[in-house]
Amino acid sequence: MNFLKNKTILITGGTGSFGHEAVKFLISNCKLKKIIIFSRDENKQYEMQKKFKDKNLRFFLGDIRDEERLLHAFKGVDFVIHAAAQKHVPAAEYNPFECIKTNVNGAQSIISACLKTNVKKVIALSTDKACNPINLYGATKLCAEKLFINANQLSGKEGTKFSVVRYGNVLASRGSVIPFFKELVKNKAKFLPLTHHDMTRFFITLSDSVQFVLNNLKNTSGAEIVIPKMNSIFIKDLIKAINSKIKIKIVGVRPGEKINEVLYSKDESNQVYETNDSFRIYPNYKTGFKKIGKKVNKHFEYVSNSIKYLNKQAVIKLIKKSKLL
Nearest Cα neighbor of 14 from 52, 55, 44 is: 44
pLDDT at 324: 63
Give 57's pLDDT tier (boundaries 50, 70, 90): very high
Mutual angle of helices 312-321 and 235-242, in 10-degree steps: 70
Of 129, 141, 161, 258, the catalytic one is 129
CA distance 43 to 37: 13
Q: Go through 80-105 and write b for each residue having 16 or more CB atoms within 10 A of its CB, e for each that does not.
A: bbbbbbbbebeebeeeeeebbbbbbb
pLDDT at 278: 97
pLDDT at 325: 61
- Identify the weakest region by mean pLDDT among 52-61, 106-115, 305-314: 305-314
CA distance 305 to 234: 9
Residue with more model confidence, 281 or 178:
281
CA distance 215 to 191: 41
pLDDT tens by residue, 137-172: 999 999 999 999 999 999 988 899 999 999 988 987
Q: Do 237 and 315 form a contact (C-beta atoms < 8 A)?
A: yes
Q: Do 309 and 232 form a contact (C-beta atoms < 8 A)?
A: yes
Q: Do 126 and 144 form a contact (C-beta atoms < 8 A)?
A: yes
Is 33 labeled as catalytic in the residue annotation?
no
pLDDT tens by residue, 7-26: 999 999 999 999 999 999 99
Quote the mean pLDDT of the chain: 93
pLDDT tens by residue, 202-241: 999 999 999 999 999 999 999 999 999 998 999 999 999 8
pLDDT at 29: 95
Domains, the chain, with CATH or none? 2-168+205-229+265-300 (3.40.50.720)
pLDDT at 189: 93
Its pTM stands at 0.94
Residue 323 has pLDDT above 90, yes or no: no
